[in-house]
Copies of this chain bind each other. A is one copy, B any other.
Amino acid sequence: MPTTRTETRDRNKRALLASARDLVASDGTQVSLGSIAEAAGLTTGAVYSIFGSKQKLLVELLAEDFHRYQGALAAVADPTLSLRAVLRGIADAWLAAYAGESAARWSFELNIALAAVHDPKLKARLGELKRDELDGLSALLTGRLVHQAAPGPLTSEVEARAVADALRALLSGIAFQYAMTDQRPERTFLRRACEALATMAEQDAR
């Protein structure tokens, strides 16, 4: 069964994205195209054939990375869960999404995002993705029971957005922290920190 050219190309593209992901995570976005290509068993020219430039590869990598963590949140879609339960669920999903990854892997988003600070195109793309992420999180946190037991007040959109904002910062910061120490955050700590943010809604309700 002969492999078609399209198949070969797709395989190469995936190989390039995979090695780029690993190397960006471990060495930052300043990794050379040469090492990315070599790790994929190709040459730098192939990167240009497939992506057009290093920057475009980075943009694709970023997009792919975001899509990757969308499915993990399905577990907390259940509308009867309380705010705290949803936050705990997100903590678990986030941890699960990183399961099996090397410590260096934690720094991937930070590295690529930092590169975006000085790269208009990357920044624009990242802006879109971040907005989508925030919208998604906000939706997930809206209309939730503020206190554990029903009946009781539900989170408003405004409250949900504030919690989502803090949650995103917290998770980024934890990833950052642990990228530094090569040590994975403990589930218990992560859950408690996330759940604590539920108080931001309670304060409003007070």
Q: List the interface of chain A (C-beta within 8 A of B).
A: 26-28, 30, 104, 107, 110-111, 113-118, 123, 126-127, 130, 162, 165-166, 168-174, 176-177, 179-181, 189, 192-193, 195-200, 203
**A165 proximity list for chain B (CB < 8 A):** 177, 189, 193
Q: Tell me, rounded to whole Å, the shortest Cβ–Cβ distance linking A69 to chain B.
A: 16
The answer on a CB contact under 8 Å between A117 and B113 is no
The answer on a CB contact under 8 Å between A114 and B117 is no
How many copies of the polypeptide does the oligomer hold? 4
Instruction: Name the CB-closest residue of B to A131.
Output: B181
Residue with the highest number of chain B CB atoms closer than 10 Å, among A26, A117, A165, A193? A117
Decide yes or no: A176 and B118 within 8 Å by CB, A193-B166, A193-B200 being known contacts.
Answer: no
**In whole angstroms, how far apart are the Cα atoms of A196 and B110 in the complex?**
25
**In whole angstroms, how far apart are the Cα atoms of A171 and B104 in the complex?**
21
Q: Tell me, rounded to whole Å, the shortest Cβ–Cβ distance linking A4 to chain B.
A: 17
Q: Tell me, rounded to whole Å, the shortest Cβ–Cβ distance linking A189 to chain B.
A: 6
Q: Tell me, rounded to whole Å, the shortest Cβ–Cβ distance linking A186 to chain B.
A: 10
The answer on a CB contact under 8 Å between A198 and B200 is no
4 closest A-B pairs by beta carbon, nearest first, are: A173-B173, A169-B173, A172-B173, A166-B193
**In whole angstroms, how far apart are the Cα atoms of A200 and B193 in the complex?**
6
The answer on a CB contact under 8 Å between B195 and A199 is yes
**A130 proximity list for chain B (CB < 8 A):** 180-181
**In whole angstroms, how far apart are the Cα atoms of A143 and B110 in the complex?**
35
The answer on a CB contact under 8 Å between A174 and B180 is no
Decide yes or no: A180 and B110 within 8 Å by CB, A189-B162, A195-B199 being known contacts.
Answer: no
